[in-house]
Amino acid sequence: MSTLRALLWDVDGTLTESEGDGHLAAFNHAFEALGVPWRWDDTHYGALLRITGGRERLLHDMAQRSNAPHEPGERERLARELHALKNERYAQIMDSGALPLRPGVAALIEQAHAAGLRQAIVTTTSRSNVQALLRQHFGSRWQQLFSVLVCGEDVQQKKPDPQAYQLALEAMKLSPLQCLAIEDSPGGSAAANAAGVPVVVTRSRFFAHDTIQQAFAIGPGFDRRDGWRPALDNPGNGQAVSLDDLQAWYRAAETVSAVAP
């Protein structure tokens, strides 16, 4: 195993639990603003999250609805308009401070920066959403913390396709085994694995019980030491997962899987 030189962070569900209170709320706002008689609840949106990309989710949902436009071109137009309104609303939600980082995330980012590790964002969400999030929580420092951003606009194929990770590796001029991906979902983990990047999965609200394949570690969140596979030393002692723990998992170079109950 090479020396760990970079952390590659997913965004939605990984940096922040943004799907429900952020993206879902913003989608429903966009429906209302355009007078579209649709509303997504948690169950329906959780199923749609298996489709990566907000515009793609809209198109997938429209394909199942009898009251959606029938012509593909009209569906595309409506999806673009809804997605633009949704992104505007999401940025407003973000700027209001309503979407905190997940506990333990900021500390790990700061530890990695202090240790000289490079960090990148690798996500299927839009650049404007990513920049709003990072600006909200790190101010202008975010550009010092994250040297590369690969976002939804940068790829032709979204996760679980590995293209986003491949672009990040190319931009950073690093090999896959010099990096560790941080993900929350089966699709994100599959994308990292397909690019040859080792992955740690911190489960999120909408992927709490999904099957995860071939991760170096799988657990409930970086703010707690219990519930992780492989198990951490001193679980339940109130301490958070640290960069030393990530380094230990990386050096162990073994993968684990978790099957949905």
Q: Are residues 89 and 157 in the same domain?
A: no
199-255 pLDDT, tens digit per residue, is: 999 999 999 999 998 999 999 999 999 999 999 988 877 789 999 999 999 988 767
Residue 1: predicted pLDDT: 58
* pLDDT > 80? residue 166: yes
In a domain, 1, yes or no: no
Residue where a domain terminates, one of 95, 110, 140: 95
Helices (H), the chain: 18, 25-33, 42-48, 54-62, 72-95, 105-114, 127-138, 142-145, 163-172, 186-194, 243-252
Residue where a domain terminates, one of 36, 65, 95: 95
Residue 53's domain comprises 19-95
In a domain, 41, yes or no: yes
Question: How many domains does the chain contain in total?
Answer: 2
104 confidence band (pLDDT: 50, 70, 90):
very high
Q: Are residues 72 and 123 in the same domain?
A: no
Q: Are residues 80 and 142 in the same domain?
A: no
In a domain, 75, yes or no: yes
In a domain, 141, yes or no: yes
* pLDDT > 80? residue 258: no
2 confidence band (pLDDT: 50, 70, 90):
confident
For Cα atoms 14, 99, 41, give the angle at the middle one, nearest 5 degrees.
Answer: 85
Distance of CA 49 to the CA centre of its chain: 11
- Check residue 234 and report its DSSP letter: S
Residue 229: predicted pLDDT: 93
CB count within 10 Å of CB 200 equals: 24
Start-to-end Cα distance in the chain: 32
Collect all residues with Cβ–Cβ distance below 8 Å to 243 and sequence separation of at least 6.
108, 111, 112, 115, 117
* pLDDT > 90? residue 60: yes
108-138 pLDDT, tens digit per residue, is: 999 999 999 999 999 988 898 899 899 989 9
Catalytic residue positions, numbered = 10, 12
Q: Are residues 39 and 150 in the same domain?
A: no
Q: Are residues 86 and 152 in the same domain?
A: no
131-164 pLDDT, tens digit per residue, is: 989 998 999 999 999 999 999 999 999 999 999 9
Q: Which residues pair with 8 in a beta bridge?
A: 120, 181
260 confidence band (pLDDT: 50, 70, 90):
low
Q: Take residue 180 and report the two structure tokens written for it.
A: 């560790």
Separation of alpha carbons 184 and 41, rounded Å: 21
Residue where a domain terminates, one of 44, 64, 95: 95
Residue 254: predicted pLDDT: 67
Residue 238: predicted pLDDT: 77
Residue 174: predicted pLDDT: 97
Separation of alpha carbons 192 and 207, rounded Å: 17
Q: Are residues 86 and 70 in the same domain?
A: yes
Q: Are residues 29 and 129 in the same domain?
A: no
Q: Which is more confident, 112 or 92? A: 112
Closest to 208 (Cα-Cα) out of 184, 188, 227, 232: 184
Q: Take residue 23 and report the two structure tokens written for it.
A: 């993206």
